[in-house]
Amino acid sequence: MLTIGKLAQDTGVKVPTIRYYEQIGLLPEPGRSAGNQRLYGQGQLERLRFIRHARDLGFPLEAIRDLLSLSDRPDQPCAAADGIARAQLDAVRARIRRLKALEGELERMVAQCAHGTIRDCRVIEVLGDHALCAQDHPTAAG
């Protein structure tokens, strides 16, 4: 049995995050010692490693919840898991496209800089007027 601190150390997941995963039902509530200390078994360790790896790959919590539910029923076809992974791949590719567009815009902005004074700085000018961008790109909120 592992304490929450040891579980955190073994998985690289912070203690508050482990508690949060318990709170939202991704990780089952652990047993308790006589002193009311959380105690985790091998199954919870493996489940938390699964969650951590899925988070590292960018899966949203709801997708992880669905994948965990599927993993709890190992005799089912894996089409649903494939669909979830395919949706995540599509989201990653879309994010890469947006980042490449942002990279191009930033490269253009820096290349146009005359290295003079702030009054004539193209970086400051473009940042102050989105219409000067070469292409539309998502805002930080979008």
Q: Please name every residue paired with 31 in a beta bridge, in sequence order, or none if there are none.
A: 39
pLDDT, one tens digit per residue, over 14-68 is 999 999 999 999 999 898 888 888 899 999 999 999 999 999 999 999 999 999 9
Residue 114 has pLDDT above 60, yes or no: yes
Q: Which CATH number does the domain 1-59 belong to among 1.10.30.50, 1.10.1660.10, 3.40.30.10, 3.40.50.720?
A: 1.10.1660.10
Tokens of 74: 């190992």
- So where are the chain's domains? 1-59
- pTM comes to 0.77
Q: How confident is the model at residue 138 (pLDDT cuts 50, 70, 90)?
A: low
**DSSP assignment of the chain:** -B-HHHHHHHHT--HHHHHHHHHTTSSPPPEE-TT--EEB-HHHHHHHHHHHHHHHTT--HHHHHHHHHHHT-TTS-SHHHHHHHHHHHHHHHHHHHHHHHHHHHHHHHHHT--SS-GGG-HHHHHHH-GGGSSS----TT-
